[in-house]
Structure 1
């Protein structure tokens, strides 16, 4: 198949494009500033911005499947020149319109566990609204909602190292919140490609989560443990953390704010893990503990 991946040179896109190439598909990666160094040589690179319809529309011609990965990182405030609304909602509208215009057979949307069009957190609210754009289109669609995806190049690892310190660090509520079910990128892209290749998944939303439920503090301990460093977490009352993050929200130099304050109280776990729909069991998935060990 001829497959277009928006955001194809990002963290998830790099691994997805490599898996698609391994399965003998023709792959095109669409991004604002294409980076050939992170993708297999067989991947065709093209430049475009999902928030600008005219810059991407022509790239959908002749494609069998589109996988839309375009999104902004959930853990940082977006830069002033863009927003979750423009990328997650506007980007989905533009990608869906272009796919309909060019008769694309299937449209795959990577959303996120916790996506909710009525949510109070910008990232998950706009992911939920982006899903609705896809679901109410005339396309054959599949929506994936993974929990936080880990692996080499994971934004979450970078975020934790930037905002904590080894040996002694401070976290709201001692790092006991939020809770995650991290899923390994290697397992995740296998399920994504199965969704691309097989029509049995069309018209469904799949929540994908890993085998462990971990807190932010757990992840920090595991991450620093790989460096041979211990970490003692000193608790800050959640109320004080929320007040502080709300206070710094207007300061553009600080990539944290109101949405991060709300996310601290959010549990990113699922009651209905759909990995079995793709032939996986929890025991077969790579855990974060095993990966970092």
Structure 2
């Protein structure tokens, strides 16, 4: 049975957004997906029953479109974000100014429930532009709407993610995989489905209002351990080459220059290398998935299934021991 409440989701057509839209639809909410290009997200309609998913055109750089998108909603979710800057899609415009516009429209509409997707490592004093923009976005949202809930995930995994899929694809063609900074950076990968349920829990709980949660899965891994995991899951043997940051930085510049070409994604950017100098794990004393009543899935339970296309001899070939 459908609820009367409408939840507006900005960034609902992205990787995490699709999980969030499905979770909200399954919970019975009417979901309004605000996206720049609704015609490219028509497949989201099948995430719910007929009429449950509404697609509207909105651009976070255009306040009037944001105001229309939140009109009549009982909750708002902001998932807008990019990992790499491209043209007008900059960290500052999307993570900071976009978040400010959405929070201001939400407050003006009298909607108390808002979830702002940030990231572990958000820091106003960071040398990383990405981390600074995420921190500024948090500040802008809480200033406009103190009742908003902030979610800070570690790297998010799931079918179609940009981490495990990227390195599994690289392992298909390259004889070696790079270990940036020696591969010592630690991560706490969190499943996209668990992030979606965290959004749902935050919207549904009065105690989550005004709180910040750091979302990490049950396991902590070094970058090197994650590369080994990918190779094992895809039944490939590749050399893991430690690459000091001093050498990786000029390489990242070349990747960024190549990314000027259409459909080319940089393997790593200089800004991402700055982020890799810090661990990306849940902080001591932080509120977590458990505080939202959730238990996270492991990478071992989820990732191997969607890395099947990258296996050396296909799905049914007996894997090497």
TM-score, length-scaled by structure 2: 0.82
User: 2: distance between equivalents of 1:235 and 1:62?
Assistant: 53
The correspondence for 1:204, drawn from 190, 195, 211, is 211
Alignment partners' CA distance in 1, 2:196 and 2:137: 20
CA distance in 2, matches of 1:245, 1:72: 17
CA distance in 1, matches of 2:170, 2:66: 36
Output one character per residue of 1:42-98: Cα deviation in whole Å (capped at 9) or x when no partner. 21111111122122221111111101001112xxx3112320000001101110121
Describe the shift of the 1:144–1:230 C-alpha distance in structure 2 as closer, same or farther (beyond 3 A).
same
Q: Post-superposition, which runs of at least 4 consecutive aligned residues in structure 1 deviate over 6 A?
A: none
Structure 1 contact 242–262 (Cα < 8 Å) conserved: no
Structure 2: distance between partners of 1:60 and 1:290: 37
Structure 2 CA distance for aligned equivalents of residues 218 and 159 of structure 1: 16
Deviation at 1:160, TM superposition (A): 2.1
Structure 2: tracts of 5 or more residues without a match:
305-321
Q: Does 1:44 align with 2:48?
A: no
Q: Which residue of 2 aligns with 1:13?
A: 17
Deviation at 1:150, TM superposition (A): 0.7
Matches within 5 A, 1:44-123: 44-73=54-83, 77-123=84-130
Query: 2:198 maps to what in 1?
Result: 191
- Structure 2 residue 299 is the aligned partner of structure 1 residue 288: yes
Q: 2:276 aligns with which of 249, 261, 264?
A: 264
Cα 1:224–1:168 shift into 2, 3 Å: same
Between the aligned partners of 1:172 and 1:54, the Cα distance in structure 2 is 45
Q: How many Å separate the matches in 2 of 1:54 and 1:127?
A: 23
Shift of 1:248: 5.7
Name the CA shift for 1:257/1:149 in 2 (closer, same or farther; >3 Å): closer
* Superposition RMSD in Å: 2.2
Query: How far, CA to CA, are the matches of 1:286 and 1:127 in structure 2?
Result: 25
1:277: which partner in 2?
291
